C-alpha cells in the first residue's frame, strides 16, 4: 500500500510517500481501505516531533479518516466488510490501509461522502465534547468561539447554533467572518485590530451586552485567549482546546475566584481511549445533525495524497478555512 512516512521528525517536506506493508487486523480490530484522511493541526506537531505523544519511527501520521471495511478481526460485531466507516486513531491515517479498534470505528450514513466523514472526525467530536461534556452547555447560553473559521472553531459554531446558543465568532479576516456568519454565527468579533485587549471586549459587549459570554471555546491561545477571557460572564466556563497561535497563556487564579469562572481543559483523545462508548453516542448525535442538515463540514480543498505537501502547507501557513483532506485511492 501507499503511505506517507515519518522516518525522521522535521518539516512537512521530510515526509516521504512510499510503499509499506499492508497491516492485518487482530481480534477486536478492523482493517479499513482509506479513501479520505483529515489534516489536523496536531498532525504538524507529530511530524515535527513536538507533540505530546509520538510513536516509534517510521510511521504514518494522521488521526482520522474514512473508508471501506476490508476485513475484520475475531469478535468484531459493530461493522463488517463493505461497510463505509469513519474512525479516529492516534496515528496511521495517511496510508492506503489502516487498522483501528472496533470501538473507534463508526458506520457512516449513506448520504455522507468520505471527504465529509473524514472532515467531521476529530474536529466535530472535539467541538461537541467542549460544549456539552466539558462546558455543560445550557439552552439559550451565549457561546464565544475563537478561531471560528478553523476546523474545531467552525464545527463549534455549527454545533452551538444547532443546540440553540447565541454564537459569537472571533476571526482574523473578512473572508473568515463571512464563512462564520454563513455557518450560523450571530455576531462577529475581529481579532485583526489594533489594541486587541480593549477592542475585543468592546466588540463582544456591543454584540451581547456587558454581562458577557457564558462559554468560551478556545483552540487559539495567545493574545486572542487573553483578550477573550476578559469577556467571560459570572460563572462562565472557558474550555482550552489548543494553542494554534503558539503562545500558551497564563491565568491568574484570583480572577477565577472572584467571578466563579471554570477554566477547563479538553484532551479529546483521552475520551477516545478511555470512554469509547461515550464517543460513540456523540458520534451518532453528530450523524443525526448532519442528516438533518444542521451541521456540515466546510471542506476547503481535497488533495490527492501525492500532493500532500501542498495540503499540509495550507494548514501550516494558517491559510485554511474549515478543513483540508487528503484523498487516497
d(C-alpha 3, C-alpha 59), whole Å: 9
So what's the pLDDT on residue 246?
Answer: 85
Instruction: Kindly give, in sequence order, each residue whose CB lies less than 8 Å from that of residue 128, ignoring residues fewer than 6 positions away.
Output: 155, 159, 282, 285, 286
Chain centroid to Cα 228, Å, comes to 20
Model pLDDT for residues 260-302, shown as the tens digit of each residue: 999 999 998 999 999 999 999 999 999 999 999 999 999 999 9
Q: Is residue 292 part of a domain?
A: no
Buried-exposed string 172-208: b where 16+ CB fall within 10 A, e elsewhere: beeebbebbbebbbbbbbbbeeeebeeebbebbeebb
- Domain limits for position 101: 2-120+297-327
Does position 221 have pLDDT exceeding 80, yes or no? yes
Q: Is residue 97 part of a domain?
A: yes
Does position 329 have pLDDT exceeding 80, yes or no? no
Residues 260 and 302 in one domain: no
Residues 22 and 111 in one domain: yes
Residues 98 and 205 in one domain: no
Output the pTM of the full model: 0.94
Residues 141 and 57 in one domain: no
Residues 61 and 133 in one domain: no
d(C-alpha 93, C-alpha 91), whole Å: 6
Residues 236 and 139 in one domain: yes
Q: Is residue 175 part of a domain?
A: yes
* Domains contained in the chain, number: 2
Q: Is residue 275 part of a domain?
A: no
Amino acid at each position: 500500500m501507499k503511505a506517507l512516512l515519518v522516518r525522521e521528525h522535521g518539516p512537512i517536506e521530510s515526509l516521504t510517500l512510499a510503499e509499506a506493508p499492508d497491516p492485518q487486523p487482530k481480534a477486536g480490530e478492523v482493517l479499513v481501505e482509506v479513501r479520505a484522511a483529515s489534516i489536523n493541526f496536531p498532525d504538524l506537531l507529530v511530524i515535527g516531533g513536538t507533540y505530546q505523544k509520538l510513536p516509534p519511527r517510521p510511521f504514518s501520521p494522521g488521526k482520522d479518516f474514512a473508508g471501506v471495511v476490508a476485513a475484520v478481526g475475531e469478535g468484531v460485531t459493530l461493522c463488517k466488510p463493505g461497510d463505509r466507516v469513519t474512525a479516529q486513531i492516534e496515528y496511521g491515517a495517511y496510508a492506503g490501509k489502516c487498522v483501528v479498534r472496533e470501538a473507534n470505528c463508526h458506520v457512516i450514513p449513506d448520504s455522507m461522502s468520505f471527504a465529509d466523514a473524514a472532515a467531521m472526525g476529530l474536529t466535530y467530536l472535539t467541538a461537541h465534547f467542549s460544549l456539552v461534556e466539558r462546558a455543560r452547555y445550557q439552552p439559550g447560553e451565549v457561546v464565544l468561539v475563537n478561531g471560528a473559521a478553523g476546523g474545531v472553531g467552525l464545527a463549534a459554531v455549527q454545533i452551538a447554533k444547532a443546540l440553540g446558543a447565541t454564537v459569537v465568532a472571533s476571526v482574523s479576516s473578512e473572508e473568515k467572518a463571512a464563512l462564520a456568519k454563513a455557518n450560523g454565527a450571530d455576531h462577529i468579533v475581529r481579532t485583526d485590530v489594533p489594541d486587541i485587549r480593549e477592542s475585543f471586549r468592546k466588540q463582544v459587549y456591543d454584540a451581547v451586552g456587558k454581562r458577557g459570554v457564558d462559554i468560551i471555546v478556545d483552540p487559539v491561545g495567545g493574545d486572542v485567549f487573553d483578550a477573550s477571557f476578559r469577556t467571560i460572564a459570572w460563572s462562565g466556563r472557558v474550555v482550552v482546546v489548543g494553542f494554534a497561535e503558539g503562545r500558551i497563556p497564563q491565568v491568574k487564579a484570583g480572577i477565577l475566584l472572584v467571578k466563579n469562572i471554570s477554566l477547563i481543559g479538553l484532551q479529546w483523545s483521552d475520551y477516545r481511549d478511555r470512554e469509547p462508548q461515550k464517543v460513540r453516542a456523540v458520534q451518532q448525535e453528530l450523524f443525526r445533525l448532519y442528516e438533518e442538515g444542521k451541521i456540515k463540514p466546510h471542506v476547503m480543498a481535497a488533495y490527492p495524497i501525492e500532493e500532500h505537501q501542498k495540503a499540509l502547507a495550507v494548514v501550516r501557513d494558517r491559510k485554511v478555512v474549515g478543513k483540508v483532506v487528503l484523498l487516497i485511492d
